[in-house]
Structure 1
Amino acid sequence: MTSCKPTSKGKEEYLRKPDWLKIKLNTNDEYKGLKKLMREKNLHTVCEEARCPNIHECWGERRTATMMILGSVCTRACRFCAVKTGLPNELDLAEPERVADSVAIMNLKHVVITMVARDDLKDGGSEVLAETVRAIRRKSPFTSIEVLPSDLGGLQENLQILMDAKPDILNHNIETVRRLTPRVRARAKYERSLEFLRLAKEMQPDIPTKSSLMIGLGETEEEILEVMDDLRANDVDIMTIGQYLQPTKKHLPVKKYYSPIEFGKLRKIAMEKGFKHCEAGPLVRSSYHADEQVNEATKERQLQAEQ
């Protein structure tokens, strides 16, 4: 266990990353080719913008990426996220086709489409996100599609627009425990995220739902278990649990580094609580091994249907 401690002057001492958080860099031809394609198509990825620690594995070994649409500037300033905040540019209505072209060129089996929060838009960006799903369907009919939207302003009609496009999996992150939500997530609300996930399942019962929790921000084990219970109470199928890593000194400090053993324990508890799949580990992120997650959830759903 590694935790954040106050110094004699009352200031918090920044923790040194433990050995299990060391990352293997892989800038091979696959990594370079994917990066080149993103720039040529003028596309953004959350892998780069959010400084994901798995970018070299995903790009260099698995040849997967999480596309980030609706620009690279977010209207929210969450204290854990490295994505730029400010006034977004005008909508790029050609973006869905460019994303679909890239998915086809890469011949992806599974793609994750996420977005910056667009509170400046009445629909929260749902129309563009839905059109991106449809464009990928037209050009890559055998690619499974996972969407990772914001709460779309908390409006049910915006979520309905997205669910009508029928992505293969709906992912919306709870991010942190109830108590820490006001401090960690700008404008977002814990209960609103739970309602978002519940409504998504009600609108399309056959589409798996998923949510992610980052730990290391000062939460207790009891609060982590409460999140699991809340997600299951709203029929969430898949959960991912990962270590919070401070992207810059301007962001919230890490309070604790959880060990791989502790993550293993949390994964076991999550499965016992009824999740169809749980990915938990120090470097796990919401879209980490996303193709495997949706496959496991689909298998579980098929087995239940046969019984």
Structure 2
Amino acid sequence: MDYSLAQLRGFVAVAEELHFGRAAQRLQMTQPPLTRQIQTLERILGVRLLDRDREVRLTAAGAAFLADARRVLTLVDAAPESARRVAAGDVGTIRLGFTAIGAYAVLGPLLSLINNELAGVEVELNELVSEEQFAQLSGNRLDLGLVRPPLPAGLTGVAVHTEELVLAVPAEHPLADVPGPIRLADISADYIGYSPEGSRYLHEVCAALVATEDFLGAEVATQFPTMLALVRAGRGVALIPRSCTAMRIDGVVYRELVASDARSVKLHACWNPESHDPVLARIVPLLSAECFTTAALSDHRARRSTPGS
């Protein structure tokens, strides 16, 4: 036979009051049923919890059981509110995917946004190329991804960042010290391209900018650090998103492109519309290009620090 929550509450009341009458009054019941509850609980446990000679006192077993009973009741009392907070998306975990290059653009601001708006949500980070993120989003192994377009059928998203491409050249390259923006037509060195399998979007954007015969013979890389390592080694030049220039690398110089060669690339927040995750439902309305600006993030912080907000 198992003991009940009513018996636990009855025991805790008697143990704290050390008086059956006061405990019964506190529980809004009469004393005889409370006495029977304690007797039944002791019979189930096979130990004496209270001495009832001239006054009520806890036995050693009763003192130990009281500590555990309080913990159980605290958890039981907190469970409904915990369930409501999870259902509302106030607490939980968001499984977030991101590309190495995309991380430089919006990962930090997105984490700040989640922390500011949903402090009880934990973020599980997964660095994956866009194609791997699409597969995991479709299989509900990721909740949200920071990916390059186009988005496959079955997934949805919103553009959260747009930035221009710049040229990364070796520090000893002739173009490193040329004044003014660079024309791609003037580049004779080999290009370092993006893998068409791992970085299809950037591959297609850059291939459209560069002479086909030059680009098809280029070395390729999927991850941004590998690409810059090749540039530093003097293996060629590379077109990279502007946000990546935040990584200062000795031996690599970043140059602007002339307006006629300038191109922008986009980054999307992507999710599976079939997902019923409450945390995702709270995050999606916050996602837009505007929400990642410095002003927007400052406004989020200010609103959270204002009393009554």
TM-score bracket, normalised by the shorter chain, equals under 0.3
Structure with greater Cα Rg: 2
**TM-score between both structures, scaled by the size of structure 1:** 0.22
Specify which structure has the higher proportion of helix: 2
Q: Whose RCO is larger (CA < 8 A, sep 6+)?
A: 2
Specify which structure has the higher proportion of strand: 2
